[in-house]
A = this chain, B = another copy of it.
Amino acid sequence: MVPLRLALAQLNVTVGDLDGNRRLVEEAIRQAQAWLADLVVVPELAVTGYPPEDLLLKPQFVEANLRTLARLAPWTRGLVALVGYVDRDRRGRLFNAAAVLAEGRHVATYRKQFLPNYGVFDEKRYFTPGTDSLIMEAQGCRLGVTICEDVWEEQPIRALAAAGARLVVNLSASPYHAGKLKERERLFALRARRNRVAIAYCNLVGGQDELVFDGASLVLDARGRLISQGAQFREDFLVVDVVPAHLRPPTGDGASRGARGRVVVVPSVGGDRPRLPAQRQRAYPPVEEIYEALTLGVRDYARKNGFSTVVLGLSGGIDSALTACLAADAVGASHVVGVVMPSRFSSSETQEDARALAEALGIERRELSIEPMFQAYLQTLAPHFGERQADVTEQNIQARIRGNLLMALSNKFGWLVVTTGNKSEIATGYCTLYGDMAGGFAVIKDVPKTLVYQLARFRNRRGPESPIPASVFTRAPTAELAPRQTDQDTLPPYDLLDRIVKAYVEEDRSLREILQTNRAAPETVACVLRMVDRSEYKRRQGPPGIKITPKAFGKDRRMPITNRFQQQ
């Protein structure tokens, strides 16, 4: 065989933007043609964006997706394109599919066989699983086609290898969480080695509501060794020459064994092409990787929803400091407004830190005291509250005044309010519904407090400048909603809290198991679990935010609000 030239177009498509997505795929096809590639691959459901959710229940949406796909076929002169789209059969059943477009026609279709229906995925809500495999023959090499989950299972690759495939292509939309890339690389290497097939994996990139797709598309040889890899967290176009040394030798007759399906022979380009060098990316260290994921998540939420400016409250604490940095890195400092909203409980130190941060980051700063409103609320409510002691009520009023002010600025100027609550707070309900939880996007909602500090330290280290004042790191965390308040009046130390939250929320451990693996007072752990359970109603009304852990609050964790289960 001559070398097989693959182009993997790691696109940032947008859910529902059929015309925009079509233009991105067309551009990828043109670019692949310019590279004289044999095959260009785009991500899973590139036509519709991923996940399209209940748009799929609208027949007019599925129709429009089919029309969009039909407009792509004519562009495929001289190469083959594998394009993710929604297929529909005569009975109206939907399939998560890949179209083989070649010589201006839609020549074959592969339908995803394994439909994820766990975690953030609901594919069985929409799709019928495919039953047949698809093998293409190009440049004398057999290529098997798979979509995302298909390769997380053992069976499809095994069947394709048995049917003579020497390279398996995977169209994917694999959401990011910390550590997922390594997991993916290990899995693909294992699948390649075990089945003696090369793997070409094309992943989506970009943010969609709570999900970030991280790209990092890759090509492995039949021994599981990395040939080439695309960038993480940005669009990329990977062109790879797969040569015989990357593949196991072809089997005798190439007859289909074990796989139900068909072989499609696609045209070859052939011709002389200078050999391409392999592409490799610097792997991000763990904390930087998360920082990049968060930046992309904010940038795409703002951009895809039509916001150019982001506004947030600056308290002088670490959470709002980190969120401001992320916002500035995502949309540019000149498009970020930080609002300082002091009350009678705000210290001059925290206000100074908030100002210093805004200054160092180069973002616009506004100051609005909440005292006049707070006074008015207290006076209005006084006849109703009578002799009752001040409690969390008065704290929430302050937080809600701030929420109202930020929303007023948002309404007047069309800015996106981003919230600054971290996962530790949102888990325990140490936050105010309609107060600090008010906003369109919760940037660090899946980031535990201990990781907030690591990310903030990373950002100061990386530069430019060290925007977060040193005192922000050393001051005891406080909501400043009552005299001499600190978070640890209410919560256990954050390193312990974060371990409990991880065990309970992400790993579904029981009270007993958590006590076995953590040195902590049983009443402390039990209290945290109760706080998590009782805050479900708050989380249900919180804004979406970026998933960076294996289990985020949101689509990942669907708990009833009405729930009397006693943790054991």
Binding site for B on A (CB under 8 A): 14-18, 20, 51-55, 57-61, 64, 117-118, 122, 124-125, 207-209, 300-301, 304-305, 366, 368-370, 372-373, 375-377, 379-381, 384-385, 388, 391-393, 396-397, 400-401, 403-405, 407-409, 411-412, 433-434, 438, 440, 508, 510-513, 537, 540-544, 557-568
Residue from B18, B125, B562, B565 in contact with A305 in the complex, judged by beta carbons closer than 8 Å: B562
B404 x A560 contact (CB < 8 A): no
Instruction: Report whether A60 and B369 are in contact in the complex, using a CB–CB cutoff of 8 Å.
Output: no
| Residues of chain B lying within 8 A (CB to CB) of residue A407 | 396, 400, 433-434
Q: Which of B53, B55, B208, B557 sits near A54, CB closer than 8 Å?
A: B557
A313 to B369, CA, bound (A): 28
Q: Please, how many angstroms separate the alpha-carbon atoms of A565 and B48 in the complex? A: 9
**Bound CA–CA A39/B403 (angstroms):** 57
Q: Which of these, B305, B400, B564, contacts A20 with CB under 8 Å?
A: B564
Taking a contact as CB atoms under 8 Å apart, the answer to whether A560 and B15 are in contact is yes
CB pair B565–A55 under 8 Å, yes or no, is: yes
What are 30 A-B contacts defined by CB distance under 8 Å?
A: A14-B564, A15-B560, A15-B565, A16-B560, A17-B564, A17-B565, A20-B564, A52-B560, A55-B559, A55-B560, A60-B512, A60-B568, A117-B124, A118-B125, A122-B122, A209-B562, A305-B562, A368-B380, A368-B384, A372-B376, A381-B409, A381-B412, A391-B412, A397-B404, A397-B408, A400-B404, A407-B434, A433-B438, A434-B434, A440-B537
A54 to B118, CA, bound (A): 10
For the complex, give the distance between the alpha carbons of A376 and B408 in Å: 13
Q: How far is the CB of A387 from chain B (nearest CB, A)?
A: 12
Q: Are B438 and A411 neighbours in the complex by a CB distance under 8 Å?
A: no
Among A207, A366, A373, the most chain B Cβ lie within 10 Å of the Cβ of: A373
Quick one: which of B380, B412, B434 contacts A372, CB cutoff 8 A? B380
Q: Which residues of B contact A513 (CB under 8 A)?
A: 60
| Known pairs A117-B124, A393-B408; A18 contacts B380 (CB<8 A) | no
Q: Note all chain B residues with C-beta closer than 8 A to A561.
A: 209, 305, 544
Contact pick for A405, options B372, B380, B511, B568, CB 8 Å: B380
Residue of B nearest to A540 (CB): B544
Q: Could you tell me if B408 and A392 are in contact, using CB atoms closer than 8 angstroms?
A: no
Pick the most buried of A370, A375, A405: most chain B CB atoms within 10 A of its CB. Answer: A405
Q: How far is the CB of A51 from chain B (nearest CB, A)?
A: 7
**This protein's copies in its complex:** 2
The 9 closest A-B pairs by CB, nearest first: A16-B565, A60-B510, A17-B564, A372-B376, A393-B411, A434-B434, A16-B563, A373-B376, A16-B564
Q: A404 touching B401 by the CB < 8 A rule?
A: yes
- Bound complex: CA A559 to CA B540 (Å): 16
Asked whether, in the complex, the Cβ of B379 is within 8 Å of the Cβ of A396, the reply is: no
Which residues on B sit within 8 Å (CB–CB) of A411?
Answer: 391-393, 396
Residue of B nearest to A206 (CB): B562
The distance from the CB of A413 to the nearest CB of chain B, in whole angstroms, is: 9
Expressed in whole angstroms, the Cα–Cα distance for A273 and B563 within the complex equals 41
Q: A208 is contacted by which of B57, B117, B562 (Cβ under 8 Å)?
A: B562
Looking at the complex, which one of B58, B391, B401, B438 makes contact with A510 (CB distance below 8 Å)? B58
- Contact, CB under 8 Å: B53 / A568: no
Which residue of chain B lies nearest to A394 when distances are taken between CB atoms in the complex? B408
Residue in B408, B557, B568 whose beta carbon sits within 8 Å of that of A381 in the complex: B408
Shortest CB–CB separation between residue A479 and chain B, in angstroms?
A: 15
Question: Roughly how many angstroms separate A92 CA and B392 CA in the complex, as a whole number?
Answer: 43
The CA-CA distance from A99 to B398 in the complex, in Å, is 53
Residues of B within 8 A of A541 (CB): 541-543
A408 and B434 contact, CB distance less than 8 A = no
Residues in B whose Cβ lies below 8 Å from that of A15: 560, 562-565
* Cβ B17 vs Cβ A403 within 8 A: no
CB A82 to nearest CB in B, in angstroms, measures 24
Q: Is the CB of B385 within 8 A of A379?
A: no
Given A57-B508, A385-B412, A393-B412, 6 extra CB contacts under 8 A? A14-B564, A17-B565, A117-B125, A301-B562, A400-B403, A434-B434
A558–B53 CB distance below 8 A: yes
In the complex, the answer to whether B376 meets A209 with C-beta atoms within 8 Å is no
* Contact B396–A408 (Cβ < 8 Å): yes
Chain B residue contacts of A20, Cβ below 8 A: 564
A380: which of B52, B373, B563 is its contact (CB, 8 Å)? B373
Across the interface, name the chain B residue whose C-beta is closest to A377.
B373
Closest to A65 in B: B565
Residues of B within 8 A of A401 (CB): 404
> A488 to chain B: closest CB distance in Å?
22
Q: How far is the CB of A526 from chain B (nearest CB, A)?
A: 13
- Would B18 and A565 count as touching, CB distance under 8 A? yes
- Quick check: A304 and B405 within 8 Å, CB to CB? no
Q: Which of B372, B373, B562, B568 contacts A14 (CB 8 A)?
A: B562
A388 in contact with B412 (CB, 8 Å): yes
A438–chain B nearest beta-carbon distance, Å: 5
